Amino acid sequence: MRLIVGTRGSKLSLIQTESVTQRLERICRDITVETKIIKTAGDSNSSLPLLSIKQKGIFEREIDRMVLRGDVDFAVHSLKDIPTDQPRGTAVVAVPKRDSPYDVLVSNHNLPLERMPFGASVGTSSPRRMVQLYRARPDLRVKPIRGNVETRIRKLDENLYDAIVLAEAGILRLGMRDRITQRLPLMEFMPSAGQGALALVTRKDNKKLISILERVNHPASMAEAQSERTFLDKIGGGCKVPLGVIARAAGRTMNLHGCMFSPDGRVKMEIHRSGDAARPKELGASAAADMMKLGATSLISSWRNL
């Protein structure tokens, strides 16, 4: 049986996709997978700041449309990049075992965050990371940065920044562990929903293919993803709102930590909840409802009005 997988053409995307296809071919000996590279809106607008692009899912939508049309059988995405309102008819049907959800600092002279010079420049295009950096070091100059991981590190090496913040999982997959200066504390630099996890997306009605793709699913990682994405979906706010969330499955229990910030970073709204690991969406929804009771709506409004 021959399958076609759709993916972006970046080195990281290809490595992530290959890790999935190789495992599928090992498990299902009668399957061969061909990779089809697809250029997305995010790749075409690589010079624009992310927050200036109004379209959601700029790295995934076009690939998922090709899944719906049958041009490719399935797609491999970084889960954190997938909007919760996926194109109708598609679904995340498998999440392989999750890698590190942490953010890391990559800096010139290998200086950790607390030892960087006063007023040092740090590159990130994530509002979540931006606010968390300011809370840790109010003196920093946080500057936008675009491009894939290698491009961002090249800009750092060209001294356009003193440091950059990246997802640890991506750096490890690229074999660039030696570039990591510091793993940032999880509760102070809470990740985006699904960070560190991959997602396999296909058509909801393709039951035969779903049964095949589910063979690479890691149940605990899928449960964590469902809890975090439900939390994100119920709160809303879009990519402009700095919201962090991390769920951890521990046996039959799931622990979820979530946070939001005011635009000036002075207010941090935080919530910790535990629930049944077999009902991850329920935990995510319950935690989101409690966050809304704390005043999340007012924080979302303050960001939308910027």
Residue numbers annotated as active site: 81
Strand bridging mode 103-107 / 182-183:
antiparallel
Bridge partners of residue 270, in order along the sequence? 259
Beta bridge partners of 183: 104
Listed in sequence order, the residues at least 6 apart from 305 whose beta carbon sits closer than 8 Å to its beta carbon are none
Residue showing tokens 């058509």: 203
Could you tell me the strand order of the sheet in which 74-78 lies? 32-37, 2-7, 74-78, 198-203, 90-94
Q: How far apart are CA 139 and CA 152, in angstroms?
A: 22
What residue type is 136 in one-letter code? A
CA distance 74 to 86: 14
The single residue listed with the structure tokens 């931006």 is 130
Contacts of 10 (CB under 8 A, 6+ apart): 43, 148
Q: What is the CA radius of gyration of the chain?
A: 19
56 backbone dihedrals φ, ψ, rounded to 5°: -85, 155
